[in-house]
Amino acid sequence: MNNLNSVLVEGNLVRDPELSYTSKGTAVCKFSVACNRSYKQDDQPQKEVSYFDISTWTRLAEVCGEYLKKGRGVRVVGRLKQDRWADSDGKPHSRVSIVAEHVEFKPQPRPKDAEGAEAEGKEAGEEDAERDAQDQEGEDKQAVSF
């Protein structure tokens, strides 16, 4: 019987993802996520940042490699994996990472012009209709599981 090993992490990518393929042609995408935590200690606000290495496999890896970029917010559901090895001197090492089974892409902020308003280029009604159509198409791509 398997024991429970499940983790949920929400944060932002700290660098662009790296998509590669194994020798058998299986896609693997690796990226790191920063998670911020705020709390009070002795009535003083404190901030803590944790960094997590994430790997995705097969079709999920290809989708993440195509759509994720540095700074993009994600919610990752997966499992913890511990790698252990010994270096050339025989000293043991260990690293814990997350193997993602589900990745949700958080919405990207709209581009703003120099005055802080949304960039214009089309009439307001046309732009809103086009944006709604793009959002509708993009909804299928925002939550991905394989």
Is the confidence at residue 138, as pLDDT, over 80? no
pLDDT (0 to 100) of residue 145? 67
* Tens digits of residue pLDDT in 55-112: 999 999 999 999 999 999 999 999 999 999 999 999 999 999 999 999 999 988 777 7
Task: Please tell me whether the overall predicted TM-score, pTM, comes out greater than 0.85 for this model.
Answer: no
Per-chain mean pLDDT for the chain: 85
CATH superfamily of 7-145: Nucleic acid-binding proteins (2.40.50.140)
* Among 1, 2, 146, residue whose Cα is nearest residue 77: 146
Domain extent listing, the chain? 7-145
pLDDT (0 to 100) of residue 114? 64
Residue bearing the bigger pLDDT, 135 or 78: 78
pLDDT (0 to 100) of residue 55? 98
What is the percentage of the chain residues whose pLDDT exceeds 70? 77
- The Cα 74–Cα 85 span in angstroms is 30
